[in-house]
Amino acid sequence: MARPNLYYEERSPAPLEMVWLEFRSKPLAMAALYILLLISLLVLIGPLLTPYEPNQQFIDAISLPPAWSTAGDIRFLLGTDELGRDMVTRLIYGARYSFGLPLLVVMSAALIGIGLGAAAAMTVGVKSSTLKHLLDVLMSIPSLLLALIIIAILGPGLFNAMLAIGLVLIPQFLHVTRNAVHDEQKRAYVTASRLNGVSQLYLLFTVIFPNIIKVLVVQFTIGLSIAILDIAALGFLRLGAQAPTPEWGSMLAQSLEVAYVSPWVMALPGLALFLTLVSVNLVGETLRVAIQRQLER
């Protein structure tokens, strides 16, 4: 027989448990998290789930509506486009270009920008001041405009679009990290740690970084939204992914000519972009709130 516990013991949830409880308390956030997990799964193993190739054409199935329509075909659940290509297959393959590649670009830009921003914040003098004013100028220019300028120099193409967006995002991460670390150095606990004789690396990674995670999460969310939207916009303008690449923005551009005849060809990639962007922002906001509550405990 188990012995009863006569003493009250308060249990504090772990940080990851706090994040999970925050998601569980918000149905929309949970739905957004599941959508992002599904898209991530499609990025990783999507080609294994599709019976066709993204550019495989079916001459006998051109511009078929979705399968639930009377003129539809069960072989093509969401119909086909004007060239007889399966829309489900192209949307699944497009997740790699419209979500996987932006995520890779943002992670690379975050690593470079956060490292340079932290190094800039830990130094003082003319170099730090000059960098701050230069970043203020770059931040005042819209990201898509900067990407267009870079692509005008490098030329159109998916790789050049990724490179341009990465170069645009690095100053944003650098600016946000520099300001956050600089402001945090004025706190009393940082001064106390410095008086204890800790090294600069210990001060940065163990003392300061855990307290600016919220700022970095917000910036990562914003950066990912910008990257997804900009890659889609450049693909739509035919400056990024080129046909017949099944990138969602490029698919939107190709569907303009048949929008009235086959509206699902335009609606499906547009809906995929909308759900992805909304899910990214909902998950990022929920993470920010969970981290903020953890810091206030």
Residue 5 domain flag: no
Residues 241-258: b if buried by 16+ CB within 10 A, e if exposed: beeebbbbbbbbbbbeee
Average the pLDDT over 74-89 and give the result: 91
Q: Which domain holds residue 278?
A: 25-296
Rounded distance between C-alpha atoms, residue 165 and residue 145, angstroms: 10
As a whole number, the mean pLDDT across the chain is: 85
Please list, in sequence order, all residues whose beta carbon lies within 8 angstroms of the beta carbon of residue 138, skipping any fewer than 6 positions away: 146, 171, 175
Higher pLDDT, 56 or 3: 56
Residue 10 domain flag: no
Residue 7 domain flag: no
Residue 185 domain flag: yes
Residue 19 domain flag: no
Residue 228 domain flag: yes
With beta carbons less than 8 A apart as the criterion, state whether 116 and 130 touch. Answer: no
pLDDT per position as a tens digit, 150-204? 888 888 888 888 988 988 898 889 888 988 888 888 888 888 888 888 888 888 8
- Which residue from 184, 146, 185, 183 is spatially nearest to 167, judged by alpha carbons? 146
Residue 2 domain flag: no
- Indicate the number of domains in the chain: 1
CATH number for the domain harbouring residue 169:
1.10.3720.10
Residue 9 domain flag: no
